Structure 1
Amino acid sequence: MSGGPDGAALVADWLASLTHVRRLSPHTERAYAATARRFLAHVEGATGRPADLALLADLTPADLRGYLAARRAGGLSARSAARELSALRTFFRHLARHRGLDSTALGRIEAPKVPKGVPRPLPPDDAIALAAAAGEAARLPWIAARDTAVLLLLYGAGLRISEALALDGSVLPLGETLQLSGKGGKVRTVVLLPQVREAVEAYARLCPWPPSAGAPLFRGARGGPLSPDVLRRSARAARVALGLPETATPHALRHSFATHLLAGGADLRTIQELLGHASLASTQVYTAVDAAQLMDVYRASHPRGG
């Protein structure tokens, strides 16, 4: 096999297919791109050959294990290593389909064992307090209202951060439900509680940039789209101020939404639809969360619980 396109061209072609065909989230695309580029740089350095199609076809399971071992030695967790292997499998499948790559090396690599854990939800009072405190810490009233509104969307409607920040001005005025396009372009309908609607509308009234269709609803201090990192920093400061654990993150609010629905009697299928999970297996983790919370109460209250 001739060398063919270089690694950069192969990655660019793959990323274009992810954008237009698989419709992955921008965050996932960035992670996939970083993994592919790291991998190509590694095999180029390890073999002394340019990372082109010919090199990729010659790779063995040992080459791939060497890359994962180097990443683990650098501090990568088993969970992250499994994600990197998944990204590389997607990359190689694309090359097999579109470039005729004949390599079975990846198929003989087992993903690292990932310890199973359960999400750490917040009690309802803490979830609401986190949203309120994040707003109270802001210097400007409109930013305070913004941070509270976004965090209440995560807790009160189960949105992902990316989904909340992708909303534009066309969603206003809000009704009792909201249609979202989530992962993979999957459309779902979520219910908006009155408190959530009021928080978003209060922010919209205070925002210096009037909401408009096609423009981001939630804006940064200079008027651009709100960065998720800004929201995470706001939640972190609120968490510290309230003395909440490190697990009290914006994403934990979505977990809390699901867990509290389950505890209130909602069935798994309903929760699956509200969260936008592709499979019921992703939602079933909340049964473990609910059981874990019950055990915590038992241990704390029962004389023989410890």
Structure 2
Amino acid sequence: MAAPSEGLQAALAEWLTHLRGLRDASDHTLTAYQRDVAGFLGFLQHHHGESLGTARIASLGPSEMRAWMAHERTRGLSARSLARALSSVKSFIRWLADRDGFDASHILSARSPKYQRKLPRPLSESAAAEMIDQVDTQAMEPWIAARDAAVLTLLYGCGLRISEALGLTGEAHPLPEVLRIRGKGDKERLVPVVPAAREAVAEYVRLCPYPLEPGAPLFYGARGKALNPRMISKAMERARMSLGLPSTATPHAMRHSFATHLLAAGGDLRAIQELLGHASLGTTQIYTAVDAARLMEIYDRSHPRA
């Protein structure tokens, strides 16, 4: 099969560099984008039986987009994965059209396959509290138990991602009333710190055998290096087994629980979007579905069908 033209290969590399610089995309994200677009270009070359250049991309039509999507489905790609791949391809072609000055509307109009989006599985308020209490007692070293509880309190009390919590450095202590968090895409947001989180971190710092220094990690592993997120996952695995909680009780579920419980208490969706650091309101709106699903479960238990 013919290889992509040098111009097209160069365009793909330039686009990835553009994403890395403009959006501060992670290596994992860039690898996924590269794989999606390369797979699309590979299909087109096999489909047409010839090497494609950037000019040929400009002449693609809806039929070729449909043929590619049908091919991906027949080889077993799920609707969700295909939707992600189509998004990558559209992003590349949109960028190429802007760079080379052609109309890509006939390509960008390709419809994404519909799929049932998985809802986050938050813990109940009592289960979230029990999880924090459990990790606070199960480690043999008191400072490690306090550390694990402090991290989970930040996830549940402030809605931080695990990477954001473990990315805090020594100068973050004592925690201020509002944390400045740098999240995905290198975007900054302000997150109010609940008293429970401030107290939990203070207790960990009091017991921690390692010195807290500016620029050094706030949370240490047992050997004095930056805490690996896997250790928090392991602590939660032990805790959920003791508490009889499902496997969905993960560190990220604590963040889901923060958003779901805040929404159930009457929180504004736009404000929750800001607190979570979501780029799109649509990402945050999934929690309205979570809350509705939870209400239906309560209704079904209270009013069982005959």
Q: Same fold (TM over 0.5)?
A: yes
Tell me the alpha carbon deviations over residues 195-247 of structure 1, each in whole angstroms, 9 at most, x when there is no partner. Answer: 22233344445556534333443456666655555544543454344322233
The one of 4, 7, 14 aligned to 1:5: 7
Please state how far the C-alpha of 1:145 moved relative to its aligned partner. 4.1
Query: Which stretches in structure 1 are left out of the alignment for 5+ residues?
Result: none
For the residues of structure 2 that align with 1:56 and 1:209, how far apart are their CA atoms? 57
Using a 3 Å threshold, how does the CA distance of structure 1 residues 151 and 54 change in structure 2: closer, same or farther? farther
**Which structure 2 residues correspond to residues 87-236 of structure 1 after superposition, within 5 A?**
87-100=88-101, 106-116=107-117, 118-133=119-134, 143-204=144-205, 210-219=211-220, 226-228=227-229, 231-236=232-237
Q: Which residue number corresponds to residue 254 of structure 1?
A: 255
Aligned-partner residue type, residue 275 of structure 1: L
AA paired with 2:80?
Answer: R
Query: Contact (CA 8 Å) 1:41, 1:51: kept in 2 or not?
Result: no
Write out aligned runs for 1:34-45 (5 A): 34-43=35-44
Distance 1:226 1:67 in 2: 44
**Partner Cα distance (2:91, 2:285) in 1:** 26
Determine if contact 1:4/1:53 at 8 Å carries over to the other structure: no
Return the alpha-carbon distance in structure 2 between the equivalents of residues 23 and 103 of structure 1: 25
After superposition, what is the alpha-carbon deviation per residue over 1:126-174, rounded to whole angstroms, capped at 9, x for unaligned?
1233345456666765554444333222111111233223333332221
Contact 1:132 1:148 in 2 (8 A): yes
Q: TM-score, normalization: structure 2?
A: 0.78
Q: C-alpha distance in 1, partners of 2:206/2:67?
A: 55
Determine the C-alpha separation between the residues in 2 that align with 1:224 and 1:35: 36
Q: How far apart are the structure 2 equivalents of 1:269 and 1:35? A: 32
Q: How does 1:295-306 map to 2 (within 5 A)?
A: 295-302=296-303, 304=304
Please tell me whether the aligned partners of residues 131 and 148 of structure 1 are also in contact (alpha carbons under 8 angstroms): yes
Distance 1:124 1:228 in 2: 23
What residue is the counterpart of 1:263 in the other structure?
264
> Could you say if the C-alpha distance between residues 69 and 301 of structure 1 is closer, same or farther in structure 2, counting changes exceeding 3 Å?
same
- Contact in 1 for aligned 2:170/2:213 (Cα 8 Å): yes
* 1:95 Cα deviation after fit: 1.9
Change (3 A) 1:216 1:79: farther
What TM-score does the superposition give when structure 1 sets the normalisation length? 0.78
Using a 3 Å threshold, how does the CA distance of structure 1 residues 296 and 168 change in structure 2: closer, same or farther? same
Q: 1:94 to 1:220 in 2, by over 3 A?
A: farther
Match of 2:294 in 1: 293
**Deviating more after overlay: 222-231 vs 209-218:** 222-231
Letter in 2 for 1:5: G
Q: Quick one: structure 1 residues 230 and 6, their matched pair in 2 at CA, closer, same or farther if it must change by over 3 Å?
A: farther
Q: What CA RMSD, in Å, does the superposition of the two structures yield over aligned residues?
A: 3.6
SS of match in other structure, 1:248: coil
Residues 60, 107 of structure 2: 8 Å contact kept:
no
Q: Which moved more, 1:227-236 or 1:185-194?
A: 227-236
| Aligned 8 A contact 2:157 2:258 in 1 | yes
Select between 45-54 and 170-179 the one with higher mean Cα deviation. Answer: 45-54
User: The residue matched to 1:253 in structure 2 has which SS?
Assistant: helix
Larger Rg: 2
Q: Deviations over 1:110-130 (max 9, x none)?
A: 101022554322111212333
1:177 and 1:112, CA in 2 relative to 1: closer, same or farther beyond 3 A?
A: same
Structure 2 distance, partners of 1:185, 1:292, is 33
Closer, same or farther in 2 for the Cα pair 1:103/1:164, shift >3 Å?
A: same
How many matched pairs? Answer: 303
SS of the aligned residue for 1:5 comes to helix
What's the CA shift for 1:181?
A: 2.5
Question: Identity, % of aligned pairs?
Answer: 50
